[in-house]
Structure 1
Amino acid sequence: MSSPAQESFLSFDDGKIHVCQDGPRDAPALLLIHGTAVSARSWDPMVPFLADAHHVIRIDLLGCGRSAKPRDASYAVANQARRAAAVLDRLGVARAVVAGHSSGGTVATSLAEQRPGLVSAVVLINTGPDMAAYLGEDTGGAAAPADLSDEQLRQAMSTGFAPGYRIPRSLVDQFRDIDLHTFAETSRAVRAYLDERSLPDRLAPLGKPLLVLFGEEDRRWRPSSAADYRAVPGATIRLLPGCGHSPNIEDPARTAAHLLTVPR
């Protein structure tokens, strides 16, 4: 059984970042970047399958989880990636595999763009290649999570999972705690980043090993869009039957098994 995560807060100019570390510190580093409306806790189910072989690092992006939530900070994808790189620098990590779930994949991509020497490989889990692949709806008029019951929240979150999946209470609590300002700013920032240039176009010239995992029953990003990543030389694409938008939660063992094949 793995030991409890070591948690800390690192202070930067625009606020504190909450960091969780698991596994041996001398093992190859693996940075996990969460998606919109959740936190580092969304990786909890996968960590036990990864921490024996990796120094697993999870962060709450600025505005999320237990990290600072400044109103005047920039939530642009490039700035979130810059903060993630600064965390690795502060921890003394010289090289890491970087994995992102959903919108976290845009941050992972931007990190590889900004700091190619820091990133040994990129893993994208249900991250659409561009906005043309997006199947979601505008939620701008939705009620605040704090005003909804658990079952109403599960309904609001349901497209993040395969049909029939029972969303765990821990994830409902994460969604209830989201900062609506950050949610809106992040949604706009991700759209702007993908509209500017697709992820395959960004990743192709970097020459990094790329693993793309996509639940076949994703209801937020078109699963067939995973094929667009074939434009990245050497990319490995795996579709996951029975999984929706969140394989890291729905089937953590199978998702982790794929991730463990990534060159370190």
Structure 2
Amino acid sequence: MMHIIRTLAPFAAAITLVFASHATHAAPAAAPAKAAPNVASTAGVSYRTVKVDGVNIFYREAGPKDAPTILLLHGFPTSSQMFRNLIPLLADRYHVIAPDYPGYGQSDMPAMKDFTYSFDNLAKVVDKFTEAVGVTKYAMYVQDYGAPIGFRIAAAHPERVTAIVVQNGNAYDEGIDNDFWKPMKQYWADKSEANGAKLRPLFELGATKWQYTEGARDVTRISPDAWTVDQAYMDRPGNKDIQLELFYSYGSNPGHYAQWQSYFRKHQPPMLIVWGKNDKIFPPAGASPYLRDLPKAQLHLLDTGHFALEEDSAKIGALMRPFLAKAMRK
């Protein structure tokens, strides 16, 4: 374990930025418009599978199907399980769907020879997933990998997206200009075995736990089930090669930033930014640039880390409800 910790040291030494603890350009915190009780537990969640281009896509679903839809898009190395605490906070008022990407969670994990593990292809799968489950209009919640997947879909189908919630998901160069990304950028420039080997420690338990605990206010409030489940999926034979391929594919995302920023400026989707400001992967330097293109966006910097929902699902849910009620006008 010590060699993993030593390997992670340069990543954990990423630039620390100091931001005011109060929200910037944020609307005043408000209670939900109605006092309707939220779903009390995950008992109201259904666990389903739908086939997309021959691949079984697992998803969580809750709430009335005739209510406005929220599409939850997870990050690395997790799955829709990252939304287990948020879904019950929204499902009394919204139709919530949260898929697992191919190679993640309970969805199929096709062999690399049979499936292209790229962000372009994952976006195509998620786009077709929404069509397969009959959803034509939705708000998006994007985190980490969910941002480049969701922004591809939004830019291609702006008429479908009613609002966007961004949580530690990047669309600006400032968001990947820190020490964590240096070995990643070396791999994008030279996809050699040696450069790939430098990244493989990020697929091990020490790194997975670090993603959840680094920057947390109180690590005793972070469930060890979260990183244990994620690691179990990643330890499946062949999965770490898939993860490395997607690390390489992440290098395609900066080339899309200008397109996504143009989409923001042209269509002005209502946006709520809820950002764990202690994140060493996507630091808050990547949060404020959204306001350049979306001056009406709400930005809230939260005193937590990369997986902000682990500590602050209640706070994020409370911010989402009035935001969505206004943005989706239902």
Report the counterpart of residue 191 of structure 1 in structure 2: 251
In 2, Cα distance between equivalents of 1:57 and 1:155: 26
Please state how far the C-alpha of 1:197 moved relative to its aligned partner. Answer: 2.4
Match of 1:141 among 187, 196, 200: 200
Q: TM-score, normalised by structure 2?
A: 0.71
Please state how far the C-alpha of 1:161 moved relative to its aligned partner. Answer: 4.3
* Larger fraction in strand: 1
Letter in 2 for 1:217: N
Q: Percent identity?
A: 22
Residues 200 and 228 in structure 1, CA contact (< 8 A), matched pair in contact too: no
Please state how far the C-alpha of 1:204 moved relative to its aligned partner. Answer: 2.4
Report the counterpart of residue 174 of structure 1 in structure 2: 229
Match of 2:219 among 165, 184, 188: 165
Query: After the TM superposition, which of the residue ranges 191-200 and 26-35 deviates more from structure 2?
Result: 191-200
Letter in 2 for 1:23: G
Report the counterpart of residue 34 of structure 1 in structure 2: 74
Q: TM-score, normalised by structure 1?
A: 0.88
Q: Does 1:17 align with 2:57?
A: yes
Letter in 1 for 2:201: A
* Larger fraction in helix: 2
Residues 113 and 206 in structure 1, CA contact (< 8 A), matched pair in contact too: no
Residues 229 and 237 in structure 1, CA contact (< 8 A), matched pair in contact too: no
Residues 216 and 239 in structure 1, CA contact (< 8 A), matched pair in contact too: no
**More relative contact order in 1 or in 2 (CA 8 Å, sep 6+)?**
2
**Which consecutive unaligned segments of at least 5 residues does structure 2 have?**
1-39, 184-197
SS in 1 for 2:121: helix
SS in 1 for 2:96: strand
Distance change (3 Å), C-alpha of 1:143 and 1:52: closer
Report the counterpart of residue 94 of structure 1 in structure 2: 136
How do 1:1-264 residues align onto structure 2 when only pairs under 5 Å count?
1-2=40-41, 3-70=43-110, 71=112, 72-134=114-176, 135=178, 136=180, 138=183, 140-142=199-201, 145=204, 148=205, 152=206, 155-158=209-212, 161-162=215-216, 164-166=218-220, 167-176=222-231, 177-178=233-234, 179-198=239-258, 199-260=260-321, 261-262=323-324, 263-264=327-328
Letter in 2 for 1:157: Q
Over alpha carbons, which structure has the higher Rg?
Answer: 2
In 2, Cα distance between equivalents of 1:193 and 1:235: 25
In 2, Cα distance between equivalents of 1:41 and 1:212: 21
Root mean square deviation, CA, Å: 2.3
Distance change (3 Å), C-alpha of 1:203 and 1:180: farther
Please state how far the C-alpha of 1:244 moved relative to its aligned partner. Answer: 1.5
Across the two proteins, how many residue pairs are aligned to each other?
A: 259
In 2, Cα distance between equivalents of 1:243 and 1:98: 22
Query: After the TM superposition, which of the residue ranges 204-213 and 112-121 deviates more from structure 2?
Result: 204-213
Please state how far the C-alpha of 1:48 moved relative to its aligned partner. Answer: 1.4
